[in-house]
Structure 1
C-alpha cells in the first residue's frame, strides 16, 4: 500500500472514537467511514440500537428456552447439582465474551467470527472457522425449532389432567417446519422487524423467567434447597460421569451472545455498543437461567418422577399445579414467543455470516449469496440457503426421534471449536504485539483474560466430546458428538485443501496490527487537535 493510500485510508477513520475516550452515539457517516477504512461499503440499514442488539443476543441465548429444553435432562442425569453448570459455564463464557468484545470493537463487520479471524490470521483459517460455525448455527436453528414442539403441543393440545404432553414424531416434524417458515417470513421484512421481534422476545423471556420464577420461589415451593446438593444418578454407573454428562445444561445455554456481532454493520456505533451487548447477554442470561431453574425445581410437585426420567416434559405440569390451566397456557404462549425470537435471531446471524463469506468470494455461487434485497436490505438468498439443511434434519429426526440431544451435542462442540479458533487467533496476534485499538478494550488485562478464555474453551470442548451414556450404550451413540464433529471437519478440510477458496478472495486479511496502528494514530491526532480534552 502506497503512502498516499495509507493517508487516504487513515482519513476515512475520522469518526473513530479514541480508546477509553468520551464517546457519544456515532453518526451513520462515521460508521460508514470506519467500514470503508476496513475495506467495505455500507449496504445495510443501521437500525439496531444497543437495546435491540442486546435483545437479539439474549433471545438467541434464550435462558428460558435453554432451561425448559434441558431442565428434565439435567435433573434426570445428575439431579439438583446439575444447576452448578449454569454458574461454571457462565463465568467461562463471560471470559470469551470479553475477548470477542475487544476483537469486534476493532473489526465491527457483518459475519462476526469469520471476519474477526480473517483479520487476526488469514483467509484459509477464516474459511475453516466459518465452515465450522455455519454448521453449528444451522443445526442451532434445527434444534431450537424441534425443542419447541412439545411446548406447542402442550399449548394447543394439553389439558388440565395432562398439561405436559409430548409431541409425536409427526407433530414434531410439522411444528418445526412451521416454526422455521414463520421465522423466515418475518426475517424477510428486514432489520427493523428483526429488532422489534427481538425486543418482544426479550420482554417475553423476562416475563417468563422473572415474574414466573419469583412467584414459584415465593409461593409455590414444594422442595428444599438441599436438592441442589444431593447427588443422584439413574442413568450412569457413577456420579462423576453423570455430573459430566449434565454439563450440557450450561454448555448449551451460554451460546448466542456472538450473534450481537454478526449484525455489526446494522448497529450504530458498533465498536462500543456491541461489546456491551455481549456482556449483558451473558450476565443477564446467566442470572435469569439460574432463577428459572431454581424456581421450577423447587416448585416441582413430583420431583422424583423428573429425577428418574419418567417425566420428560415436566414444565407444563409444574405450571399447572402452581398457576392453573389459564396461567399455564399464558406462560406457554410466552415460551413460544421466545422460541420464535430465538429461531429468528439464529437465522439472521447465519445469513449474515454466509453473506460476509460470499462478499469475500470464498465459495461457489458467492455472487448469489452476497446480494442484498433492495426493499428491506436483507441478504435474501443467504437467508433462504441457511434454512435448507434444517428442513432436511427435521425429516431425519422424524425417522430417528431419539437423535435430537445427540444433534444438540454436536452443535455445541462445533460452536465451541469455532469460538476457540477466534480466541486462539486473538492470543496469537497478541503474542505478535497486537494491542486491541477499538473503542472498547480490556487494557493490560487482555492477555490474562485471553489465556483464561482459551483454557476454559478447551475444557468445554473436552466435556462436549466426552462419551455419553454407560457401558451398555452403543459405541457410536456414546461418541456421536465427536464423530459428527470430525466428519464435518474432514469434509471442510477436504474442500479447503482441494478448492483453495482463499486464493480467489482479494479481501483484507491478517491486518490486525496495521489497523490497530492506524486507529491509535488517529486517536493521537484527535487528542492533539482537541488539546488533550
Structure 2
C-alpha cells in the first residue's frame, strides 16, 4: 500500500473528529501566522490607544505590554493544546463543544460572534481619522462612518475571493505593518528622541496625590488588553491549513512573540518621541501620535506613514471578518443557528462560506450605520468588543481546566506535558483579573451607564443568548460529537479512532 499523502492524513484526522471539509488547505504556516498577526495588528492597537493610555499612566504604561503579553501567552499555550487535538474550523466554538458540551459551546460561540462583529465595526470606524489624515481631509463622525462602511465592503469582497487571496492579503498586511513599525520606530529613536530611556520609569507625578500609582497603571494597561488576542484567528482556519495540529499552535505562539515585540517597539519609539510629556498627561495634547508624526516626517511624510497605518486597519478588518465567518460557518455546520442550511454552504469555486461572510459584513455595517442616529449608543455597544473576546477566551480556558479535571490528557502534536495544568490555572487567573480590570468603573462623574457600559453590554449579550437557548434550544439540533475530550484523549490523531463513534 502506498504511504498516505499529507492531505490524506489531514482529511483522515478531520474524519476521526466527526467532520469532512471542502475548504482548500492552501494556507502555509507563515500565512496562517500572518492572519493572526494582522488580527492582533500591533500598529492598530498601539496607535489607536496610545494617547489615551499615555495620558492615564505616563511612560511606564510601556511595561503593561510586557506583562499582558506574558499573561496572554499562557492563554495561547492552552489554546495550542486544544487546537492541536481538535483542529476544526471555527476556533472557540468547536473547542468548547468537545471540552465541555453543546450548551457551553453555544454560549461561547454566541459571545464571541457578537464580540467579533462589534470589533469589526470598531476597527473600521477607528480607521476613519487615519484615512482622513492620509487623504488630507478633516475627519468627522459622519465621514468616519462612511469610511467604515466602505472598508467593511472592501473586506467582504476580498474575503469572498477565496482562501488564497485572504492568505496573500494577510501576508502583505503583515509585511507592510512590520516594515512600517520597524522603519518608523528606528527613525524616531535615532532622530526624534525627546525623552530619555529613564522616562519609562517616570510617572510624571501621576498617582502621587492618591499615594499609589497602581490604579493609573491598571487603567493604562488597557492598551495591551485591547491588543493581544489575534492568535485565536489562526485556529479559525484550521481546515484551510495543512498539518494544522503542528502548524497552528506554532503560528499562535509566533503571533504573540512577533506581534508583541512589534507592539512594544512601536510603543517605545512613540513614548521617547513625545516632545512635551506634560502636555500629553495634562490633556493639552490630545493627539500625541499626530504631533509626533507631523514633527518627525512633515505633512507629506506623515501621510506616507498614515498609508501604512491604513493598510494595517484594512488587513485587520479582513482578518477579523474571516475569523467571524468561520465561526458562523462552524455554528451552522452543527445546525446551531437559524439559517444553518444557508450559512454552512461553501462556494464551489472559491471554497469559502459565502453566506456566512456576507452576514459577517452586514451585521458590522448595521452597527456602524447606527452611528448616523445613535452615536452614544454605538459607543456603548463598541465597549463590549474587548471584554467579549476576553470572556469567550476565558470560557475556553475554564473549559480546558474542567476537561482536565475529568481526565482529559491533551494528545495533539503540541502539548505542555506536566506543566499543562499549572499553565491552565495561570491563564485563568490572569484572564479573570484582566476582565475585572477592563470592567472596573473609572469615571465617577459620568452617568452610571457610561461607567458600567462594559458590564451592561455583557449582561445584555449573555441574557439574550440565554433567552434564545431557553426558547429555541439550538444546542439540541445536529449530532456532531460533543463533550468527549476526556473520552477520546490519545485517539484523535490521524491514526486514531473516530471521535464521532466515541460520542
Tell me if both proteins adopt one fold, taking TM over 0.5 as the criterion.
yes
Deviates most, 245-254 or 319-328: 319-328
Indicate the SS of the match to 2:491: helix
Pick from 24, 28, 32 the counterpart of residue 45 of structure 1.
24
Q: CA deviation at 1:521?
A: 11
Matches within 5 A, 1:24-35: 27-35=6-14
Residue 208 of structure 1 corresponds to: 180
Provide, for residues 493-529 of structure 1, a one-character-per-residue CA deviation record: whole Å limited to 9, x for no partner.
Answer: 11112211111121110121233232479489xxxxx
Tell me if structure 1 keeps the 8 A contact 2:367–2:378. Answer: no
Pick from 217, 223, 246 the counterpart of residue 189 of structure 2.
217
Pick from 20, 37, 47 the counterpart of residue 68 of structure 1.
47
Q: CA deviation at 1:393?
A: 2.0
Alignment of 1:395 onto 2:374:
no
Provide, for residues 428-457 of structure 1, a one-character-per-residue CA deviation record: whole Å limited to 9, x for no partner.
Answer: 111111111101111111111011101111
Cα RMSD, aligned residues only: 2.1
Q: CA deviation at 1:230?
A: 2.5
Deviates most, 69-78 or 346-355: 69-78
Alignment of 1:455 onto 2:434:
no
Alignment of 1:423 onto 2:397:
yes
Distance 1:109 1:172 in 2: 36
> What stretches of structure 1 of length at least 5 have no aligned partner?
1-13, 16-25, 159-164, 525-533
Distance 1:304 1:396 in 2: 37
Alignment of 1:151 onto 2:95:
no
Residue 349 of structure 2 corresponds to: 375
Indicate the SS of the match to 2:251: helix
- Give the number of aligned pairs: 493
Q: CA deviation at 1:38?
A: 0.8
Pick from 242, 260, 264 the counterpart of residue 216 of structure 2.
242
Tell me if structure 1 keeps the 8 A contact 2:162–2:350. Answer: yes
Distance 2:279 2:379 in 1: 20
Pick from 148, 163, 170 the counterpart of residue 176 of structure 1.
148
Residue 167 of structure 2 corresponds to: 195
Deviates most, 137-146 or 385-394: 385-394
Pick from 492, 503, 509 the counterpart of residue 476 of structure 2.
503
Alignment of 1:349 onto 2:328:
no
Tell me if structure 2 keeps the 8 A contact 1:468–1:479. Answer: no
Distance 2:180 2:493 in 1: 45
Distance 2:164 2:153 in 1: 19
Residue 477 of structure 1 corresponds to: 450
Q: CA deviation at 1:302?
A: 3.4
Distance 1:27 1:145 in 2: 38
Distance 2:369 2:208 in 1: 31
Distance 2:305 2:378 in 1: 24
Indicate the SS of the match to 1:387: helix
Distance 1:208 1:407 in 2: 31
Tell me if structure 1 keeps the 8 A contact 2:246–2:414. Answer: yes
Residue 36 of structure 1 corresponds to: 15
Provide, for residues 38-83 of structure 1, a one-character-per-residue CA deviation record: whole Å limited to 9, x for no partner.
Answer: 1111210011100000000000000011000010111122221222
Residue 363 of structure 1 corresponds to: 337
> What stretches of structure 2 of length at least 5 have no aligned partner?
498-503
Matches within 5 A, 1:317-356: 317-356=291-330
Query: Alpha carbons of 1:373 and 1:248: their partners in 2 closer, same or farther (altered >3 Å)?
Result: same
Tell me if structure 2 keeps the 8 A contact 1:468–1:477. Answer: no
Tell me if structure 2 keeps the 8 A contact 1:46–1:265. Answer: yes
Residue 512 of structure 1 corresponds to: 485
Alignment of 1:91 onto 2:86:
no
Distance 1:512 1:417 in 2: 21
